[in-house]
Amino acid sequence: MQFTITTRVGQPYKTVLNGFNRALFLALKPPLIPMKLLRFDGCNTGDEVHLNLGFGQEWISVITESGSTPNGHYFIDKGKKLPFFLRSWQHKHSITAAEDNPNESLITDCITYQSHHILLNLLLYPLLYVQFAWRKPVYRQFFSNTAASLQ
C-alpha cells in the first residue's frame, strides 16, 4: 500500500532541510500513540532511528538512501525491525523548493508499507494516513517558529 502527503511551508528548502532533526522528530509524534525515542542519528545514509512503542514493540528504521535533486533533497528510511503488524516499511522524505516561490518549500512524505495480510493493509491505511496528515500543521508551525534559529 502506498500514499503521499505534501505540505507547503514558508521557509526555503535548505532551512527546512536543516530543521529535520531530533526536535522535529519529537514534534511530529502523533497524539495518543505512546512512543519513546531511543536513538536518532540524523537523516543521512546509514543513520538509524530507534523507537519504543508503548505496547512493547520496537521500531528501528535505517536511512538507506539520501541525496540531492536539482531543486531539493530527499532521504529514504526503511524498516529494519518493525512492530508485529507490519511486514515492510519505506518512507521517502522529499524537501523541494516551491516552483512559484523560492522562499517556500514542499515537504512530501511518501509511505509504502505492507502488513502480513491484505485485509490488515486496508485497515491500516486510514490510520496511517491520518497520522501523516496530522503532520501538516506541525510542519507549518515548526518551520514558522524555528526559522530564525535555523538560519
Per-residue pLDDT of the chain (151 residues; tens, 9 = 90+): 999 999 999 999 999 999 999 999 999 998 888 899 999 999 999 999 999 988 889 999 999 999 999 999 999 999 999 999 999 999 999 999 999 998 999 999 999 999 999 999 999 999 999 999 999 999 999 999 654 444 4
Give CATH for domain 2-150. 3.30.530.20
CB-based contacts of 125, cutoff 8 Å, min separation 6: 1, 3
DSSP secondary structure letters along 39-51: EE--SSTT-EEEE
Question: Could you tell me what percent of the chain has a pLDDT over 90?
Answer: 87
Tell me which residue has cell 502527503: 5
Whether the predicted model's global pTM rises above the 0.75 cut? yes
Query: Can you give the residue ranges of every domain in the chain?
Result: 2-150
